[in-house]
Amino acid sequence: MLTGKRILLIIAGGIAAYKSLDLIRRLMDQGASVRCILTKAGAEFVTPLSVSALSGEKVFMDLFDLTDESDMGHIRLSREADLVVVAPATADIMAKMAGGHANDLASTALMATDKPVLIAPAMNVEMWNHPATQRNAATLASDGITLVGPAAGDLACGEVGQGRMVEVPDLIAAIQERLARATASLPLAGKRALVTSGPTREAIDPVRYLSNHSSGKQGHAIAAALAAAGAQTTLVSGPTSEPDPAGVTIVKIESARDMLAACEAALPADIAICAAAVADWRIAEEAGSKMKKNGGTPPPMAMVENPDILATLSQATDNRPRLVIGFAAETNDLIDNATKKRARKQCDWIVANDVSTGTGTFGGDENTVHLVTDDGVEDWPRLSKTGVAEQLTSRIASWLADRDT
Ligand code: PMT
pLDDT tens profile 6-45: 999 999 999 999 999 999 999 999 999 999 999 999 999 9
Q: Which of 36, 157, 263, 274 is catalytic?
A: 157
Q: Is the CB of 353 under 6 A from ligand 1?
A: yes
pLDDT at 64: 72
pLDDT at 224: 94
Domain locations along the chain: 6-184, 192-404
Residues whose CB is less than 8 angstroms from the CB of residue 200 and which lie 6 or more positions away in sequence, other chains included: 211, 238, 253, 254, 255, 256, 258, 259, 276, 277, 278, 279, 306
Exposure string (b/e) for 218-253, b if CB count within 10 Å is 16 or more?
Answer: bbbbbbbbbbbbbbbbbbbbbebebebbbbbbbbeb
User: Which of 274, 330, 350 for mutating ligand 1's site (highest number of atoms within 8 Å of CB)?
Assistant: 274
For residue 353, the CA-to-ligand 1 centroid distance in Å is 10
User: Mean pLDDT score of the chain, rounded to an integer?
Assistant: 94
What residues pair up with 232 in beta bridges, in sequence order?
A: 192
The yes-or-no verdict on residue 162 having pLDDT over 90 is no
For residue 388, the CA-to-ligand 1 centroid distance in Å is 15
The yes-or-no verdict on residue 402 having pLDDT over 60 is yes
Dist. CA 222–CA 216, nearest whole Å: 10
Nearest CA to ligand 1 atom 18: 277
The yes-or-no verdict on residue 208 having pLDDT over 90 is yes
Query: Are residues 183 and 116 in contact, defined by beta-carbon separation less than 8 angstroms?
Result: no
How large is the C-alpha radius of gyration of the chain?
A: 26
Give me the phi and psi of 352, to 5 degrees please: -95, 130
What residues pair up with 376 in beta bridges, in sequence order?
A: 373
Q: Is the CB of 328 under 6 A from ligand 1?
A: yes
pLDDT at 247: 82
Domain pair 6-184 / 192-404, same fold: yes
Q: Where are the alpha helices (DSSP H) in 143-191?
A: 168-184
- With a pLDDT cut of 90, the percent of the chain lying above it is 84
Q: Which fold has domain 192-404?
A: Rossmann fold (3.40.50)
Dist. CA 237–CA 262, nearest whole Å: 9
Q: How far is CA 218 from CA 28, 237, 365, 383, in A?
A: 28, 11, 8, 11
- 69 vs 335: which has the higher pLDDT: 335
User: Which of 196, 214, 217 for mutating ligand 1's site (highest number of atoms within 8 Å of CB)?
Assistant: 214
Check if 36 is active-site: no
Nearest CA to ligand 1 atom 22: 329
Residues whose CB is less than 8 angstroms from the CB of residue 338 and which lie 6 or more positions away in sequence, other chains included: 328, 330, 350, 352, 370, 372
Domain 6-184 CATH assignment equals 3.40.1390.20: no
pLDDT at 219: 98
For residue 80, the CA-to-ligand 1 centroid distance in Å is 28
pLDDT at 75: 78
- With a pLDDT cut of 70, the percent of the chain lying above it is 98
